[in-house]
Amino acid sequence: MELDGNNFYGHLSSNWGKFHNLTQLHISKTNISGCIPPELSEAPNLYSIDLSSNHLTGNIPKELRNLTLLSILQISNNHLSGNVPVQIASLYELDTLDLAGNNLSGFITKQLANLPKLWNLNLSHNKFIGNIPVEFGQLKVLRSLDLSGNLLDGTIPPMLTELKYLETLNLAHNSLSGLIPSGFDQMLSLTFVDISYNQLEGPLPNIRAFNNATIEVLRNNKGLCGNVYGLESCPTSRSGSHHHSHHISKVLLIVLPLITVGTVMLALIYYKFSYHLFQTSTTNENQVGGNISVLQDVFTIWNFDGKVVYENIVDATEEFDDKHLIGVGGHGSVYKAKLQTGQVVAVKKLHSVANGGNSNLKSFTNEIQTLTEIRHRNVVKLYGFCSHSQLSFLVYEFIEKGSLEKILIDDEQAIAFDWNKRINVIKDVANALCYMHHDCSLPIVHRDISSKNILLDMECVARVSDFGTAKLLNLNLTNSTSFACTFGYAAPELAYTTRVNEKCDVYSFGVLALEILFGEHPGDVVSLWTIVDAMLLMDKLDQRLPHPLNPIIEELVAIAVIALACLTESPQSRPTMKQVSKDLAGFQGDCNLAVVLHQ
């Protein structure tokens, strides 16, 4: 439910908790007031709440801990008071917590460090006191930390230097003192920092975030020094004049041997480099397997320490050995990798350049461009990427149960995949496509929706994956492409046109929905069915499961009706994914809703 930017007044109703199928509640930038109703926690499928920029008062309800699927909580720029309830730390799916611009007070809740998936933590412009919790160093995947505009004191905890993936850090307008921890020199992912208006002193760390900083993000401290215009240079230790000649002798004794050794090493490097150029000019450049270690410009992984992560992934997969292979797609092979931190990730290595040339590199670029736009609980998260002319791979979150295709093929897993789970997976995919088509800055067409590209986690929450053929749609341009969809899921118009739009995904979704109901692909005759066949299709339900009873059977009929509407031959007659998602979410046991949708 998205009601942002309206001129609403009054209190937030407690009745929102009665909408058990509600997944998003976005009512930001309105004039609503009063407290956040605790009853909101009774909507168990909520994964995103945005109530920012309103006039809400009172405390943050501790009952929100019951929203176990919640991944985004944004309630910034209100008038909330009290502390952050410790119960928030039990929302283990939370990746964004934005409480900025309120009247929250007391010590910062250190238990927030128990949120394993937290990417973005913003507690700025409140009235928090005390020290920065040392426990925040445990937030291993944190990308952004903003504690500015509070009443914090003490020193910057050295434990913060454990945040190896941190990109932005804002500690401005507090009362922090002491030196900046030396471990900051290793925070190579950090690209922006603001420590202005504190009592900090000493040298700046020698990393990009500080080297490229302006005086505005460093001003009004006690005694910072470094190579930034507007700061004093750091003092260097000098010997007295009576030791001057002895000092020069020591320097010469140290430097001359180093120069000699350095000259020899440069000569060796030049020889090795020349020899390598000779080798590569006389051997096949596409033989990547044994030459991974000599590739140049190997890693571009957001702002991480690319070389370290690259080496970890190569080690974890034993140079992409087949024993770590968990899947093969049209554009690449997927490997399971356990990093040194203990985190398990999925690594999609594009097929070698020899097998695809520029088309695979273009596919890789498309996937990066697309995934950096997407942030949704039903879309696989991208952690980083490696881009090279001979070796390219993507690093994703690892989804435990694997693909929907494998689950449906395996009888034991298919039986455990009961009707309620199947209905929820269909809704998950619809929500993901609705987001991609209607909520991104430019609509995104996946173009390859199929059971092999739907992954399920241990709770059977679905994630759409594999954006190797995804296309960003600029609505002002003609959108055409070569055929990309998996056989059996492609919209019929792709047989005679290269024009692509969202309705191609709608068709593929219809095939997928029936496949989930039937337990197998519905076959080539799918286009011959009509809406009136929906009840007859119930005879084709997956026979491995018990025959469903009401109200499940009514919901399955409605899904079949919606799926058949998606399979209409004319693209213009198919519903949008926003209509489909809304209809699936609003279904209350009356299949006439779906019939109205098609009409």
Query: Which residues have a catalytic role annotated?
Result: 448
What's the CA gap between 148 and 124, in Å, rounded? Answer: 5
Give me the residues paired with residue 202 across strands: 224
Give the separation between CA 64 and CA 385, rounded to whole angstroms.
35
* Helix residue ranges, H only, 283-333: 306-316
What is the DSSP code (8-state) at residue 11? B
- CB distance 531 to 564 below 8 Å: yes
* φ and ψ at residue 199, rounded to 5 degrees: -125, 35
Determine contact, residues 495/566, Cβ cutoff 8 Å.
no
Contacts of 255 (CB under 8 A, 6+ apart): none
| Rounded-to-integer distance, Cα 240 and Cα 501, Å | 76
For tokens 């010997």, what's the residue? Answer: 239
Asked if residue 452 belongs to a known ligand binding site, the reply is: no
Nearest C-alpha neighbor of 580 from the set 522, 515, 502: 502
- CB-based contact 289:318 (threshold 8 Å): no
The neighbour count for residue 37, using CB atoms within 10 Å, is: 18
For 250, other C-beta atoms within 10 Å of its C-beta total 12
Distance CA 573, CA 564 (A): 11
**Nearest-angstrom CA–CA distance, 85 and 64:** 9
Question: How close are the terminal C-alpha atoms of the chain, in Å?
Answer: 23
User: 571 with 493: CB under 8 angstroms?
Assistant: yes
Q: Report the binding-site residues for ATP.
A: 349
